[in-house]
Structure 1
Amino acid sequence: MIGYDTLNEPLSGFIGCKHANTYNGLLKSGACPTVFQSMLLGEGFPQEVEIWEQRVSGAKLTGRRVVNPKGVRVWREGIDDVWRQHGVWDVAPDGTPRLLRPDYFSVVNGQQVDFSQDYYRPFANRFAREMRSVDPDALIFLETEFGHDPPRWGPEDAPRIVYAPHWYDAFVLFLKQHSRFLGFDPWANSLVIGARRISKSFARQLTRFKQQSSQFLGAAPVFVGEIGIPFDLQHKKAYRTGNFDQQIKAMDRSLRALEDTLLSGTLWNYTADNTNLHGDQWNGEDLSIFSRDAQTRPQDIHSGGRALQAVVRAYARAVAGEPLRMAFDARRRVFQFEFRHDAKITAPTELFLPNYQYPRGYSVQVSDGTYEIDRERQMLVYHHTTLYDMHTIRVTPPA
């Protein structure tokens, strides 16, 4: 245990909403009432709301529909909607609801509020104090709401923090499809067309986290708190055919984005009781790299694994300096690594080279220095020389 995450995928709710007559969600899908309409629906006022659908080209307004046509209230008899109690809205003498304070959630005591700075930051600091009262050496992992900058962190705030935002291939996650030539940039809210453009877009998206850390968090380490893919692509087609090629390609595309930006992350997820029918057993999600229904040989550690050709990757686990480039080609099983050595470090560089990818061993090319291969530990140990500043290692399957 090296540390604790403050809050999984924090959301601001209505905090910061500039006008209650607007939609305030992250994603437009299905019925999308405005903030004010949400209040009225709970109070039993039928509302005609917009209906949106997620498509390849982005969100599209497909129509409008009356929601809660029978006027059912969620509040106990004799109790008004909490926001009506706070004067956000009221009912006119003619029975018509009226919005009285449209900026209620964005202005407090005459000041504009910011969720990350004014609410999440105090919470994260208190969280850090409480956790370190029993675990003084713990790292504290910070997140923020997607699409928002993290809070500004200063000397008076908790030390030893890690910025741990989540990132997913939005096209694959929301549409449950994979196309080599189609991706999505959620920050620009635009479709990305072409494999090379997608790679560049993903690199920009992940690099944004580094930039946020430098600008707001004192250049704290960046660790992608979640990354992965849904496996139930194309209406679970792979579960019927046994062909997981699309999942392998989708997973590889995401993990290559990590390599392109030299970031580390946590793969979401491993669920020991995942099944084809119920997925991860929560909220209809199905992102586990393991499924009981795919397990045919329990004695084989890899049996039940999904998209392992992309998941079980070669990588640098300890570097005697600064990593400059890391790339694993899952199709060709070629691994390339480049780094600049630090003169103060005398320890070797260690690469994880999984036997799963290299069952018959591998060939190694190095720019200089020497290396040892430890097949039992699935490790290559590289000793650089001081003749050059930069060093390269290339690993390929045997000829």
Structure 2
Amino acid sequence: MSTAKDLQTPPGPALPPISTSHTTFHIPSPIPSHPALATLLRGVNLSSSAKLPTYPRDHPLRSGGPAQMREGRDELRRVAAGVRTDVGEEGGFWSEAEQGGRDGWFVGRPIHEKGADTHFRRLRAWGFTTIRWIIPWEALEHAGPGKYDEAYIDYTIRLLRLAKHHRLRVFISPHQDTFSRLLSGTGAPYWVLLALGLNPRRVHQSGAALVHACWKEQGWGGEEGRESARAGNAGNWPDMIWNTNLHRLAARHCFTMFYASEVFAPRCTIDGVPAGRWLRDHFNSAFGHLADRLRDAGALLDTCVIGWDSLNEPHEGFVGIPNLNECPPTQDFKKGPSPTPIQAFHLGVGEPVTGVSVDDFTSLGPKHRGKTTITPPGGQGVWLTREEAGEAERKWGWRWGAEWDFWDEGGQGGCPWAGHGVWDRKTGEVLKKDYFRSKPGGGSWEFIQDFWKPHYISFIARVRQSHGDAISFVNPPIFSEPPDLSEDVKQGRLALSSHFYDGLTMLGKRRHVYNADAVGLQRGLKSMSRALKFGSGAIQNGLRDQLRELKSDAVKEDGVAEHRDVDKYPTIIGEIGTPFDMKETKLFGLAKGKTSWGDYKQPAKAMDAVLNACDGRNALSYTLWCYEPLNSHDHGDGWNGEDLSLFSYDDVPGDDDLLADDPPDLKTLITLGSRGIESWCRPYPVEVAGRVDELNFDMSSGDFELRITVPALDGLGETFDHSRADEAVGHEACTKVFLPFVHYHNRGCDGDDSPKGRRRVVGVPEEGGAEWEKGHGPAKVDLEVEQISHGRLEVVGQEGRWFYNLRKSGGDQELRLKIRPWSG
């Protein structure tokens, strides 16, 4: 009989080095004479709570726990389950940040050490090999410029060692959303907002951002929002409202200053250098310091940490807006009040604004809801007063340049954009409507080429001072094409880390009978009539088309693959997933939802659709958003109302939480607390001796098909040692396929009772293999091989091993394997 101890993962051999010299990731073959193996990296993002600091030890939400917490949870979850973005000053939202946080403020993010071993074992048992590790700038440098949280870095190193023990590869994401947690996102520390002239306590009331922590008190802003809050609707945080913050004043200002202050705000300097350069240098130094510490820790770089993402989902700010009097064309998504840039400037200095458009995104698409008035209380805007600016300089230790003086005689106002002549405070009119678009000598500014690219180059150069072989995971703005990059930047160690969500399902939290090609629309490849898709088949093909277009960015010769005569770069979809809190159907025939918690049929179908889009001929690597152990039905992933976690203790029936933490068998480890597991715990080729042409999986039947091409050795070129070709042919090649117990578990009969013409394969347990269910013997895979064109299939644990011979000459071999669960 299995015990929790039996489920422990023994230390495995060191992971082989990974290469990006082909259209897929590659690792060396264990057989020295064989060519490298193609590998798909599939895993999770860890996690939403990584964006938030922990509570103080004496805080009520930590010591007592909120009422909605289930009795019987252990201390670990009592400590953290209340962490969420709607907790304001009662959770120290502003006051702790104003003091620079605490040593180890983010220790416990993304997961607590106490339960980390079980979480990593669960991820490996699900077939995942890769973690996108979320680290916001705030976690590293919250105490002030150049002051790093060494306790947090020590904690991160300990967890990475444990991840390495479980043979998990990690790439680190310097994470942000809407620039900062104080703007209802994540990323930059509190002091960065002060350095850019903002007062975080007045961000929400001035309409500069919709801050979840202010929702209970102030609603949306304006009379409509306050009446809603007074009427008891404060908990009705609009779904996915954080996305609108990208187009509000605070985030646009911060992104513009961070990337481009030298061009658009030359009067704004800090410590004698442009404000943006000052911030970018601090950002690069903070993550460079982390890279230094990981290097000095030893045996983590390359063996566990394989690379670094560029800044998560960067935004252009004001750059490129053609007319500041209007919402720009790129702001096609509107939900809630949507001020134009000039309206945002007025609100920013505390002036009331009427006629602010209120919009929504419904099952039938965008919908205008009318207009509202936003009146900043007390006429106070978002900008620091002259007195507050002086206090910030004294406390945090920087010095603004003499020209950073945009206040009126009373020390109020302080808008840098009025100070740079973009608009007139007296008349309220825009003076330079295309200020952020038109270059003085002609032409237009391009955010990616002119501003994003230089920072990316400086960032990865700093990281590689410590991590010389780091893979650069390039994360351009959402759905945007990356720029061309020189070989001295790429160094043959590059992968694209694009993100993809089915926007209609994400925003509406329902499945629809129609959809649209968002990538094609944004890139101008399709008109709306061509982009619309009706029916499940057309929607599925449309999703694959969008993923194919994103994948193509890594091989286009006028992009990042420029100057490469042969192999192109791989793509990993750094974020992809679907919400598990789908709503009940409201429009019969147009949308499908769920009726109760635990009913994940529709979310599973939605997840299956986007992951099928990654399969097929796309054969993409990906890291799902997300694995969040602190997920709850009341607060989702704890971040702005999102609920995408593959796992939740609230989906553990009864009072079996401790079973999820200390599972007695594999079934408990793999399934307890999982959500829609049949959709994302799916078969895929982990290592391929050849290249993947196509893989397809049917979630309902369990049918799986893999097509690969194995080149003849004489066609491999200089990357293969042709003097060893005879030796290579003498050893069978092996492709490894993950075959999850969730779909292919043996239910008892091990005999070869298959009818004539059917081939049954019953796997053998891993060495020391655990039981699927307590008292029922070691877990085994049980499947039918419907077709195998070459070689043979053996199964050990959840690993299928497809053996076949290589050819020295004679052209490529096209191989096919097709399996299904054994049905007796």
TM-score class, shorter: over 0.9
CA distance in 2, matches of 1:109, 1:167: 36
Match of 1:365 in 2: 786
Match among 287, 291, 295 for residue 648 of structure 2: 291
More displaced 10-residue stretch of structure 1: 270-279 or 208-217: 208-217
Secondary structure of 1:113 counterpart: coil
Letter in 2 for 1:266: T
CA distance in 1, matches of 2:787, 2:736: 13
Secondary structure of 1:272 counterpart: coil
CA deviation map 1:259-288 (0-9, x unaligned): 022211111100111111111112221110
**Does 2:371 correspond to 1:64?**
yes
Distance change >3 Å, CA 109–CA 158, structure 1 → 2 = farther
Secondary structure of 2:511 counterpart: coil
More displaced 10-residue stretch of structure 1: 241-250 or 165-174: 241-250
Match of 2:546 in 1: 205
CA distance in 2, matches of 1:228, 1:384: 38
Match among 681, 695, 707 for residue 312 of structure 1: 681
Match of 2:499 in 1: 166
Letter in 2 for 1:6: S
More displaced 10-residue stretch of structure 1: 124-133 or 228-237: 228-237
CA distance in 1, matches of 2:517, 2:789: 40
Match of 1:244 in 2: 600
Whether the 8 Å contact between 1:58 and 1:191 is mirrored in structure 2 is no
CA distance in 1, matches of 2:553, 2:543: 16
Whether the 8 Å contact between 1:320 and 1:342 is mirrored in structure 2 is no
CA distance in 2, matches of 1:239, 1:137: 50
Match among 540, 552, 559 for residue 216 of structure 1: 559
CA distance in 2, matches of 1:348, 1:80: 66
Secondary structure of 1:357 counterpart: helix
Distance change >3 Å, CA 377–CA 240, structure 1 → 2 = closer
Letter in 1 for 2:465: S
CA distance in 2, matches of 1:319, 1:366: 18
More displaced 10-residue stretch of structure 1: 228-237 or 269-278: 228-237
Letter in 1 for 2:702: R
CA deviation map 1:205-263 (0-9, x unaligned): 11111232314111432111111111111069758352210011011001000002221
Deviation of residue 377 (structure 1)? 4.3
Match of 2:418 in 1: 84
Match of 1:267 in 2: 624
Distance change >3 Å, CA 134–CA 156, structure 1 → 2 = closer
Secondary structure of 2:615 counterpart: helix
Deviation of residue 185 (structure 1)? 2.3
Deviation of residue 191 (structure 1)? 4.2
Secondary structure of 1:274 counterpart: coil
Letter in 2 for 1:14: F
Q: Which runs of 5+ in 2 are unaligned?
A: 1-304, 386-410, 522-527, 562-567, 586-592, 654-658, 717-727, 747-781
CA distance in 2, matches of 1:6, 1:157: 13
* Aligned residues between the structures: 395
More displaced 10-residue stretch of structure 1: 194-203 or 148-157: 148-157
CA distance in 2, matches of 1:59, 1:114: 28
Alignment of 1:34-45 (within 5 A): 34-45=340-351
CA deviation map 1:62-113 (0-9, x unaligned): 2122222764422324242111011101134xxx301111111113443521
CA distance in 2, matches of 1:239, 1:178: 14
Whether the 8 Å contact between 2:308 and 2:473 is mirrored in structure 1 is yes
Match of 1:107 in 2: 438
RMSD, matched Cα: 2.2
More displaced 10-residue stretch of structure 1: 124-133 or 41-50: 41-50
**Bigger RCO (CA 8 Å, 6+ sep):** 2
CA distance in 1, matches of 2:325, 2:420: 17
**Does 2:407 correspond to 1:74?**
no
Match among 658, 683, 703 for residue 334 of structure 1: 703
CA distance in 2, matches of 1:310, 1:79: 53
CA deviation map 1:182-217 (0-9, x unaligned): 323223265421111111211111111123231411
Secondary structure of 1:36 counterpart: helix
Match of 2:428 in 1: 97
Match among 315, 322, 339 for residue 18 of structure 1: 322
CA distance in 1, matches of 2:798, 2:788: 24
TM-score by length of 1: 0.92
Of Structure 1 and Structure 2, which has the larger fraction of its residues in strand? Answer: 1
Match of 2:282 in 1: none
Match of 2:333 in 1: 27
Distance change >3 Å, CA 220–CA 36, structure 1 → 2 = farther
Deviation of residue 7 (structure 1)? 0.7
Secondary structure of 1:65 counterpart: strand
**Does 2:133 correspond to 1:133?**
no
Letter in 2 for 1:87: G
Letter in 1 for 2:419: Q
Match among 289, 292, 313 for residue 9 of structure 1: 313
Whether the 8 Å contact between 1:368 and 1:385 is mirrored in structure 2 is no
Match of 1:53 in 2: 360
Letter in 2 for 1:277: D
CA distance in 2, matches of 1:15, 1:221: 30
Match of 2:583 in 1: 234
Q: Which runs of 5+ in 1 are unaligned?
A: none
Whether the 8 Å contact between 1:368 and 1:384 is mirrored in structure 2 is no
Secondary structure of 1:224 counterpart: strand
Letter in 1 for 2:814: M
Letter in 1 for 2:553: Q
Letter in 2 for 1:74: V
CA distance in 2, matches of 1:367, 1:390: 11
Structure 1 residue ranges (4+ consecutive) displaced by more than 6 angstroms after TM superposition: none
Match of 2:796 in 1: 375
**Does 2:611 correspond to 1:255?**
yes
Distance change >3 Å, CA 22–CA 342, structure 1 → 2 = same
Deviation of residue 164 (structure 1)? 0.7
Secondary structure of 1:327 counterpart: strand
Letter in 1 for 2:349: E
Distance change >3 Å, CA 251–CA 138, structure 1 → 2 = same
Match of 2:637 in 1: 280
**Does 2:738 correspond to 1:352?**
yes
Distance change >3 Å, CA 69–CA 267, structure 1 → 2 = closer
Whether the 8 Å contact between 2:741 and 2:798 is mirrored in structure 1 is no
Letter in 2 for 1:73: G
Distance change >3 Å, CA 351–CA 147, structure 1 → 2 = closer
Secondary structure of 1:283 counterpart: coil
TM-score by length of 2: 0.46
Whether the 8 Å contact between 1:176 and 1:230 is mirrored in structure 2 is yes
Deviation of residue 367 (structure 1)? 3.8
Match of 2:456 in 1: 124
CA distance in 1, matches of 2:437, 2:322: 5
Letter in 2 for 1:68: T
Whether the 8 Å contact between 1:125 and 1:158 is mirrored in structure 2 is no
Whether the 8 Å contact between 1:15 and 1:105 is mirrored in structure 2 is yes
CA distance in 2, matches of 1:166, 1:81: 34
